[in-house]
C-alpha cells in the first residue's frame, strides 16, 4: 500500500516507487513533518521525530518538564502551518473570525485512505484511476473558529509524483473570512546546502532559468496580474548545491492554477526551510457563511535524486498522462501555418487561400487565421467582443473560406480573445458594466482594451453563444485562445462589498467554467492557449489545452533559452513552437531555415511566415521538415527528455535529446550559438540502454549505448553561428 498509517507511533508514510514522505501526529494533536526524499523501506520511523530546545521566549503548548519535553510550533517542522498561535514563519492558513481576530490553530481529528483521486470541483487538476493513485485525507479543526480543514495528499506511485490541496469549511454558526490558504506547505529539516530555482521573465523572454543559493530569508516568485504571468511561472525548485542534470537531490513544486499565485522558500536561523505555494494572499479574501466551503487549487510536488533532469521527466510524464486529457492527449497534432507574422491585420480571403494552397503542397496540415477576422478589426484598437465575420475581408463569410481551405486537404483554425473587450466596440457601448471596474476609479486601458468580468454568468453566456455561433457556422478544428493584458481595477458590479476580494479567484473559476463548457460542446476541438505569448503557460491550462504558445519571440536562438526553461516542468508536447521568417520580427536576426526547423521541432511544430514568398529551395526544406517531424513525432512527444548542454551555462552551444520509453530510438539536436576557431567537440548522450547497439542514421556509425553516453558523438565539422544538426539513433541487433 503506497500510503501507510502506524497507529502506535501515529506516523503516516506515503511512498512512490522512488520517494517517501513522512509525517506524524504528536501528543498535542499537531501534524509534524518528518521526512521527504529518497524511498525508505522501513516502517518504524519514530527515530525521525525530535525535540528542539530553543530560547525561553518562544511560545510553547505547555510548560516544559521531564514528561513534557520542549515543544514550540516555531521550532518544529509543521505539516501545515497556521497564523498567530506561535509559529512565526510564513503561514499556510489564516482565518479571520467574526471576533475580528485572525489567530488560527488546527489539530488532527481523523483521516481516511482510499484508492484513486477525488476531483476538485470547478477547477483543473490531475486525475487518476484507482490503480494509478492513492489518496490520504486528513481532517483537522480549529475549535475556536469552527473551521474544518481537510488536507488532501495523492500519491502517484509509479510516476513518482504527489499532489496536494486543501478544503476549508465553516462549521460554526457565524461567518468567517479566509485571509490565506496555501495548497502546500513543506518544512525541510536542513536546507543550508540548497539552491532556490525559479523561472522569471517578461514578454518575449519567458521562463528564464535562475538558480541561487537559498538564503536566511524568504525567496519568492509571485503574480498579482490576474494570470500566472510572463514575470514569474508558478514553479519553484529546491536542489542541493551539487545537483546537476543527472544527479543530486531536487524538489520541484508547481501550482495547477492560472491566476494570482505565491510560491516561497524561507530559511530560518537553524538552516531549516519552509516552502509555501498557493493563491497569492494579496488581493484575496474569501467569505464563508456557515456550512460554506472553499477548495484551494492543486499543487504538484516532485522529488528526484537524479537531479534536475530526473525531476523534469517526472513532471512531464505526470502531465502528459494525468493532466492533459481529451481526444488530443495522445493524438498526433497537425502541423500548422499561422498567418500572424505573415500578414498581421493586412489580409483578405484570397491572401489566406494562397498561403493555404502553398501549405498543402508542402505537407502542412492546418491553416490558422489569427487576429483581424471579426467585427471592424483592422488594428488592435477596435472590435474585441464583436465576434462576427468581417465580410470586407472574408467575402462570402467564414464558411466559404473554410470550405475552400478544407478542399485543399487542410484543417482550419481560428483566433479568439474572448476575455477582452475593446473600448471601441459594439459590445462595450452596449454593456460597459461588463468590464472589470471599481467605483469612482478610472479604468486602466492596455492595448486599447479592457477586461471582461468573467465572474459574471451573463458575460460567460454571451461569450459561449458567440463562440458557438462561429463554431457552428463552419468546420473549425482548432481555436487559439489569447489573453493580452493584465487585470486592473478588479471589481465586479454584481458582488456585494464583503466579497469584492473574491473577484480575482472568481474570474479564474469563471474562465474554467467557460472552457469546460466549450470543450464539452466540441469534444473534437484542439485548443491552444496563448497570452501575449507565454504569459499563462501553467499546468491549469494543460487540463483544457494540451499545447500553449510558448512565446511571441519566435527567434530560434532566443527560443533555446525560453524552451529550455519551459522544459523544467512542462512536456515538449505542450510547447507551441513555430518556424518564423527572417530577419526575425522580434530580434532582426537571420538564422538558417534548417536551424529554425530543428528548434521548432522541440515543440508542437508549425510555421509563422508567408509561405508564398519562399524560394523553391526553401520549399524543399519545408517539405523535408514536415516529413521529419512526422517521422520523429512519437519520440519527441512521448519520449523522455535529456538536456545535454544548457544555453545559459554554455553560451557557445546547446543540445538536448529524446529517448523512447523502450530505449529503442533517440533523437539528438545540437545547435551552435557562437562558433570558435576550433570546433572539435564530443557530445555525450544520455538515457540510452548501455547494452544496446545504436545506429546513427546521419553518420552510419554503430556503437553501444555505453559508448554513445561515455565517449559521445565526435562533432568535428566546422559549423557556423546559429547552425544545427540532428542525429537519429535506432537500436539494431
With 80 as the cut, is the pLDDT of residue 182 above it? Answer: yes
With 60 as the cut, is the pLDDT of residue 537 above it? Answer: yes
Query: Containing H/E element for 255?
Result: strand 250-256
Cα separation, 96 vs 180, in Å, equals 9
482 belongs to the catalytic site: yes
The string over 495-534, giving b where at least 16 C-beta atoms fall within 10 Å of a residue's C-beta and e elsewhere, is: beeebbbbbbbbbbbbbbbbbebbbeebeebbbbbbbbbb
With 70 as the cut, is the pLDDT of residue 57 above it? Answer: no
Q: Hey, what's the cell of 138?
A: 486528513
Burial status of residue 240 (CB atoms within 10 A of its CB: 0-12, 13-18, 19 or more): middle
One domain, residues 708 and 680 = yes
Please check whether residue 257 is in contact with residue 279, taking contact to mean a CB–CB distance below 8 angstroms: yes
pLDDT band at 75 (very low <50, low <70, confident <90, very high): confident
State how beta strands 665-672 and 653-659 pair.
antiparallel
One domain, residues 313 and 357 = no
458 falls within a domain: yes
Residue 440: CB partners within 8 Å, gap ≥ 6?
none
State how beta strands 161-170 and 147-156 pair.
antiparallel
Tell me the average pLDDT of the chain. Answer: 95
Please check whether residue 196 is in contact with residue 213, taking contact to mean a CB–CB distance below 8 angstroms: yes
166 falls within a domain: yes
Please check whether residue 109 is in contact with residue 140, taking contact to mean a CB–CB distance below 8 angstroms: yes
Q: What is the pLDDT of residue 86?
A: 87
With 60 as the cut, is the pLDDT of residue 63 above it? Answer: no
Q: Tell which residue, 64, 35, 36, 37, has the closest CA to residue 51.
A: 64
Cα separation, 520 vs 518, in Å, equals 5
Cell 513544486: give the residue: 253
Rounded to 10 deg, the angle between the 593-600 and 616-638 helix axes is 20
One domain, residues 488 and 570 = yes
Q: Hey, what's the cell of 607?
A: 510555421
| Last-in-domain residue among 580, 611, 638 | 638
Mean pLDDT within 360-387: 97
Mean pLDDT within 445-472: 98
One domain, residues 417 and 566 = yes
One domain, residues 550 and 485 = yes
Task: Name the H helices within 478-600.
Answer: 503-521, 539-544, 556-566, 593-600
Cα separation, 626 vs 601, in Å, equals 9
Task: Name the H helices within 323-452.
Answer: 340-343, 349-362, 397-407, 426-430
With 70 as the cut, is the pLDDT of residue 432 above it? Answer: yes
67 falls within a domain: no
Residue 424: CB partners within 8 Å, gap ≥ 6?
381, 382, 383, 448
Q: Hey, what's the cell of 515?
A: 472552457
pLDDT band at 248 (very low <50, low <70, confident <90, very high): very high
Q: Tell which residue, 684, 657, 674, has the closest CA to residue 719.
A: 674
Which listed residue (482, 538, 553, 555) is catalytic? 482
Cα separation, 568 vs 200, in Å, equals 12
Please check whether residue 233 is in contact with residue 198, taking contact to mean a CB–CB distance below 8 angstroms: yes
With 70 as the cut, is the pLDDT of residue 381 above it? Answer: yes
With 90 as the cut, is the pLDDT of residue 273 above it? Answer: yes
Please check whether residue 35 is in contact with residue 48, taking contact to mean a CB–CB distance below 8 angstroms: yes
One domain, residues 694 and 679 = yes
Cα separation, 44 vs 4, in Å, equals 11
Could you tell me the CATH number of the domain that includes residue 582?
3.20.20.70
Question: Can you say whether the dihedral through the CA atoms of 108, 113, 117, 118 is positive or negative?
Answer: negative
With 90 as the cut, is the pLDDT of residue 42 above it? Answer: no
218 SS3 class: strand
| Last-in-domain residue among 297, 322, 347 | 322
pLDDT band at 476 (very low <50, low <70, confident <90, very high): very high
Q: What is the pLDDT of residue 475?
A: 98
134-138, 204-208, 212-216, 717-721: segment of lowest average pLDDT: 717-721
Please check whether residue 496 is in contact with residue 385, taking contact to mean a CB–CB distance below 8 angstroms: no
How many CA atoms lie within 13 Å of 84's alpha carbon, on the beta-carbon side?
16
Q: What is the pLDDT of residue 59?
A: 63
Cα separation, 212 vs 489, in Å, equals 35
46 falls within a domain: no
Rounded to 10 deg, the angle between the 616-638 and 349-362 helix axes is 70
One domain, residues 585 and 490 = yes
Mean pLDDT within 189-202: 96
Cα separation, 580 vs 597, in Å, equals 9
List residues bridging with 178 in a β-sheet.
95, 286
With 90 as the cut, is the pLDDT of residue 52 above it? Answer: no
Query: Containing H/E element for 168?
Result: strand 161-170
One domain, residues 354 and 244 = no
N-terminal to C-terminal alpha carbon distance within the chain: 40
62 falls within a domain: no
83 falls within a domain: no
Residue 263: CB partners within 8 Å, gap ≥ 6?
198, 220, 221, 222, 234, 235, 236, 253, 255, 275, 276, 277
Mean pLDDT within 518-544: 98
With 80 as the cut, is the pLDDT of residue 51 above it? Answer: no
The 10 Å Cβ neighbour count of residue 290 is 13
Mean pLDDT within 688-704: 97
pLDDT band at 717 (very low <50, low <70, confident <90, very high): confident
| Last-in-domain residue among 604, 638, 672 | 638
One domain, residues 109 and 213 = yes
Number of independent structural domains in the chain: 3
List residues bridging with 13 in a β-sheet.
4, 22
With 90 as the cut, is the pLDDT of residue 47 above it? Answer: no
Cα separation, 148 vs 423, in Å, equals 45
| pLDDT tens sequence across 131-174 | 999 999 999 999 999 999 999 999 999 999 999 999 999 999 99
Cα separation, 85 vs 264, in Å, equals 21
Which listed residue (249, 389, 552, 555) is catalytic? 552
| pLDDT tens sequence across 626-659 | 999 999 999 999 999 999 999 988 778 999 999 9
Cα separation, 683 vs 631, in Å, equals 23
Q: What is the pLDDT of residue 718?
A: 79
One domain, residues 370 and 295 = no
Question: What does the angle CA 122 – CA 126 – CA 131 come to, to the nearest 5 degrees?
Answer: 125
330 falls within a domain: no
Q: Tell which residue, 465, 475, 483, has the closest CA to residue 371.
A: 483
Please check whether residue 137 is in contact with residue 112, taking contact to mean a CB–CB distance below 8 angstroms: yes
Question: What percent of the chain stands above pLDDT 90?
Answer: 90
The predicted model scores a pTM of 0.97
Could you tell me the CATH number of the domain that includes residue 119?
2.70.98.60
How many CA atoms lie within 13 Å of 452's alpha carbon, on the beta-carbon side?
26
Cα separation, 494 vs 182, in Å, equals 27
pLDDT band at 269 (very low <50, low <70, confident <90, very high): confident
For residue 695, the enclosing domain spans 644-732
Cα separation, 694 vs 711, in Å, equals 14
Question: What does the angle CA 559 – CA 561 – CA 562 come to, to the nearest 5 degrees?
Answer: 60
Could you tell me the CATH number of the domain that includes residue 689?
2.60.40.1180
552 belongs to the catalytic site: yes
57 falls within a domain: no
One domain, residues 623 and 657 = no
The 10 Å Cβ neighbour count of residue 450 is 26
One domain, residues 103 and 209 = yes
Amino acid at each position: 500500500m503506497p500510503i501507510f498509517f502506524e497507529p502506535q507511533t501515529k506516523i503516516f508514510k506515503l511512498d512512490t516507487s522512488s520517494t517517501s514522505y513522512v509525517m506524524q501526529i504528536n501528543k498535542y494533536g499537531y501534524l509534524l513533518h518528518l521526512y521527504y526524499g529518497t524511498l525508505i523501506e522501513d516502517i518504524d520511523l519514530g527515530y525521525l521525530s525530535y525535540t528542539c530546545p530553543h530560547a525561553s521566549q518562544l511560545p510553547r503548548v505547555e510548560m516544559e518538564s521531564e514528561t513534557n519535553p520542549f515543544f514550540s510550533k516555531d521550532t518544529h517542522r509543521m505539516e501545515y502551518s497556521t497564523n498567530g498561535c506561535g509559529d512565526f514563519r510564513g503561514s499556510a492558513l489564516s482565518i479571520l473570525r467574526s471576533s475580528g481576530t485572525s489567530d488560527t490553530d488546527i489539530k488532527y481529528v481523523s483521516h481516511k485512505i482510499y484508492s484513486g483521486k477525488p476531483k476538485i470541483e470547478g477547477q483543473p487538476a490531475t486525475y487518476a484511476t484507482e490503480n494509478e493513485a492513492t489518496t490520504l485525507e486528513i481532517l483537522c479543526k480549529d475549535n475556536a473558529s469552527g473551521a474544518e480543514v481537510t488536507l488532501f495528499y495523492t500519491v502517484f506511485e509509479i510516476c513518482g509524483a504527489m499532489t496536494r490541496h486543501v478544503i476549508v469549511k465553516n462549521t460554526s454558526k457565524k461567518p468567517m473570512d479566509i485571509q490565506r490558504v496555501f495548497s502546500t506547505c513543506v518544512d525541510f529539516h536542513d536546507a543550508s546546502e540548497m539552491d532556490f530555482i525559479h523561472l522569471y521573465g517578461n514578454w518575449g523572454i519567458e521562463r528564464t532559468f535562475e538558480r541561487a543559493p537559498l538564503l536566511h530569508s524568504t525567496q519568492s516568485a509571485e503574480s498579482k496580474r490576474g494570470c500566472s504571468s510572463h514575470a514569474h511561472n508558478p514553479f519553484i525548485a529546491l536542489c542541493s548545491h551539487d545537483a546537476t542534470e543527472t544527479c543530486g537531490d531536487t524538489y520541484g513544486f508547481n501550482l495547477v492554477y492560472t491566476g494570482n499565485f505565491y510560491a516561497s522558500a524561507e530559511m530560518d536561523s537553524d538552516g531549516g526551510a519552509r516552502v509555501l505555494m498557493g493563491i497569492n494572499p494579496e488581493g484575496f479574501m474569501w467569505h464563508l457563511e456557515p456550512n460554506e466551503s472553499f477548495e484551494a487549487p492543486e499543487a504538484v510536488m516532485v522529488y528526484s535524486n537524479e537531479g534536475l533532469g530526473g525531476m523534469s521527466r517526472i513532471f512531464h510524464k505526470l502531465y502528459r498522462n494525468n493532466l492533459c486529457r481529451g481526444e488530443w492527449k495522445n493524438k498526433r497534432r497537425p502541423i500548422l501555418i499561422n498567418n500572424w507574422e505573415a500578414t498581421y491585420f493586412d489580409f483578405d480571403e484570397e491572401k489566406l487561400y494562397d498561403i493555404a494552397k502553398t501549405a498543402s503542397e508542402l505537407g502542412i496540415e492546418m491553416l490558422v487565421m489569427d487576429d483581424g477576422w471579426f467585427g471592424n478589426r483592422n488594428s488592435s484598437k477596435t472590435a474585441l467582443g464583436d465576434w462576427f465575420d468581417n465580410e470586407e475581408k472574408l467575402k462570402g463569410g467564414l464558411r466559404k473560406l473554410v470550405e475552400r481551405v478544407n478542399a485543399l486537404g487542410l484543417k482550419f483554425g481560428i483566433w479568439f480573445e474572448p476575455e477582452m473587450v475593446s473600448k471601441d466596440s459594439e459590445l462595450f457601448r452596449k454593456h460597459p458594466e461588463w468590464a472589470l471596474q471599481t467605483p469612482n476609479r478610472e479604468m486602466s486601458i492596455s492595448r486599447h482594451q479592457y477586461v471582461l468580468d468573467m465572474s459574471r454568468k451573463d458575460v460567460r453566456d454571451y461569450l459561449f453563444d458567440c463562440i458557438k455561433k462561429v463554431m457552428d457556422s463552419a468546420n473549425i478544428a482548432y481555436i487559439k485562445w489569447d489573453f493580452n493584458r493584465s487585470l486592473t481595477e478588479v471589481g465586479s458590479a454584481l458582488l456585494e462589498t464583503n466579497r469584492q476580494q473574491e473577484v480575482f479567484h472568481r474570474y479564474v473559476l469563471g474562465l474554467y467554467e467557460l472552457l469546460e463548457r466549450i470543450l464539452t460542446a466540441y469534444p473534437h476541438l484542439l485548443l491552444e492557449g496563448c497570452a501575449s505569448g507565454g504569459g499563462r503557460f501553467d499546468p491549469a491550462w494543460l487540463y483544457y489545452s494540451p499545447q500553449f504558445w510558448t512565446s511571441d519571440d519566435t527567434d530560434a536562438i532566443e527560443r533555446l533559452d525560453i524552451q529550455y526553461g519551459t522544459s523544467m516542468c512542462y512536456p515538449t508536447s505542450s510547447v507551441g513552437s513555430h518556424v518564423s521568417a527572417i530577419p526575425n520580427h522580434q530580434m532582426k536576426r537571420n538564422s538558417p531555415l534548417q536551424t529554425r526547423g530543428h528548434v521548432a521541432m522541440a515543440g508542437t511544430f508549425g510555421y509563422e511566415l508567408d509561405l508564398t514568398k519562399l524560394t523553391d529551395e526553401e520549399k524543399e526544406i519545408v517539405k523535408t521538415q514536415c516529413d521529419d517531424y512526422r517521422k520523429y513525432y512519437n519520440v519527441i512527444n512521448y519520449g523522455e527528455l535529456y538536456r545535454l548542454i544548457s544555453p545559459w551555462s554554455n553560451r557557445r552551444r546547446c543540445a538536448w535529446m529524446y529517448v523512447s520509453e523502450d530505449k529503442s530510438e533517440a533523437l539528438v539536436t545540437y545547435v551552435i550559438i557562437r562558433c570558435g576557431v576550433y570546433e572539435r567537440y564530443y557530445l555525450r548522450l544520455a538515457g540510452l540502454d548501455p547494452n544496446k547497439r545504436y545506429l546513427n542514421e546521419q553518420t552510419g556509425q554503430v556503437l553501444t549505448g555505453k559508448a554513445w553516453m561515455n565517449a559521445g558523438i565526435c562533432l568535428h565539422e566546422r559549423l557556423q553561428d546559429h547552425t544545427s544538426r540532428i542525429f537519429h539513433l535506432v537500436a539494431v541487433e
